[in-house]
Structure 1
Amino acid sequence: MSIYVGNLSYEVTQEDLSAVFAEYGSVKRIQLPTDRETGRLRGFAFVEMGTEAEETAAIEALDGAEWMGRDMKVNKAKPREDRGPGGGGNRRNNNFSRRY
């Protein structure tokens, strides 16, 4: 299981997050998703801790805490839903304006 960390500064680094979460146990992995087109950070991360007890301690201590000028949203990450193949859908059926 992993921890979802939201409302992050776009300036945050893996090292920054590792330092904060290391206060609550061993940090196994950090993911900082980026936008595919711009390469810019998306403002959230996923953190994996060594044990469930460490995850719980980090969530309880950090959810709502101010860090880097923002109030962090920290909770257990939900499993990613399978969206099936494709990814974009058929835009013609989404009420977009048509060009003639």
Structure 2
Amino acid sequence: MAASTLVAVGGKGSNPKTALYVGGLEETVNDATLHAAFLPFGEIKEVNIPLDHATGTHRGFGFVEYEEKEDAAAAIDNMHNAELFGRVLKVNYAQPMKIKGGDKGWSHLPVWADTDRYIEEMDAENELSAYDKEQQKLKAKEAAGKEGAEEPAAPAAAAAASEAS
């Protein structure tokens, strides 16, 4: 008998141990096909195959959420590395959605929540820009000073060379 799959991290859905990621889907697989393939392992709460907005087709993966965590574990045990429409599936627990802004993401924060950090970054960027401009002006003055110092020395060297001949 195969050992049951252990869960170490949370996942997508209302109960993280019931939501599965299914990767390696063939392009003709749809929600109904995926539902039918995973139905033998238990009561399915939801099936979702995200679509690519540009092409209107799915991106080769989907999510299946079970009512019971034991059913999800059985589906992983039986369907991981199984074949569906000639493609080998990768099935494991779904990871939580990670959008910028930490575990909850920006979608859970008000629009103004990141304003302070943005203002600090802009101030630092402006200070850096001002510092760079100041450094460029100093380098330009130094370069002009060196050119001015070399010019008088050049006629003196030319005069010394003409006296020697």
SS for the counterpart of 1:36 is coil
Report the more deviating stretch, 12-21 or 69-78. 12-21
Answer with 1 or 2: which has the greater Rg: 2
Distance 1:83 1:26 in 2: 33
SS for the counterpart of 1:60 is helix
SS for the counterpart of 2:99 is coil
Correspondent of 1:28 among 45, 57, 60 = 45
Amino acid across the alignment from 2:74: A
Distance 1:83 1:11 in 2: 32
Q: 1:58 corresponds to which residue?
A: 75
Q: 1:10 aligned to 2:27?
A: yes
Gaps of 5+ in 2: 1-15, 107-165
Q: 1:37 aligned to 2:54?
A: yes
Compare relative contact order (CA 8 Å, sep 6+) and give the higher one, 1 or 2.
1
- What are the Cα deviations for residues 18-66 of structure 1, in whole angstroms up to 9, with x where unaligned? 1111100011101111111111111100000011000000001000001
Corresponding residue pairs, total: 85
TM-score by length of 2: 0.50
Q: What is the RMSD of the two structures over their aligned residues, measured on CA atoms? A: 1.0
Q: 2:97 corresponds to which residue?
A: 80
Amino acid across the alignment from 2:54: E
* Post-superposition offset of 1:82: 2.1
Gaps of 5+ in 1: 86-100
Identity %: 39
Amino acid across the alignment from 1:38: T
* Post-superposition offset of 1:15: 1.1
SS for the counterpart of 1:74 is strand
Hey, which of these two has a bigger chunk of strand by percent? 1
